[in-house]
Amino acid sequence: MRTYSATATDAEASREWFVVDATGKTLGRLATQIANVLKGKHKPIYTPSMDCGDFVVVVNADKVKITGRKLDQKFYYRYSGYPSGLTAISLRDQLKIHPERVVEDAVMGMLNRNKMRRQLIKKLKVYAGSQHPHQAQQPKPFPLA
């Protein structure tokens, strides 16, 4: 019995689009499930070295649930590269200004730190509201546990 390894043509042929409603979902649990779909771990043809995953459209990112005291204790940092160029923004403010970035950063943290990470994150589309421009791809609702 030989071990099956997916090829690039197998992975491209089996790509699907899923839509996930983030309303009331816990951020970390949502991010792990989205990361598994982006990697392709939900498919029988999963191969760790290949991009076998599907596209994921997340809607209602502004209605994601945050547990504990993370709204005030968690900070996102950016550095401009200049002296005293460090900017910190709390999770509460980030949810008000850019709720898409909160979900993207959480999913990015769940992906492997390698070259495939950038390729996988391009298949994630996050929107703050309930509308998205990907109706032509006919995304299916993904059943989250």
Distance of alpha carbon 83 from alpha carbon 74, whole angstroms: 23
- Give pLDDT, residue 145: 67
Max Cα-Cα span within the chain: 60
Q: 58-67, pLDDT tens digit by residue?
A: 999 999 999 9
Angle at 14 between CA 9 and CA 15, to 5 degrees: 105
Helices 99-110 and 27-39 pack at an angle, to 10 degrees, of 60
Cβ neighbours around 25 below 10 Å, total: 20
Is pTM beyond 0.75? Reply is yes
The architecture CATH gives domain 15-66+98-141:
Alpha-Beta Complex (3.90)
Q: Where is 21: in which H helix or E strand? A: strand 17-21
Q: 88-103, pLDDT tens digit by residue?
A: 999 999 999 999 999 9
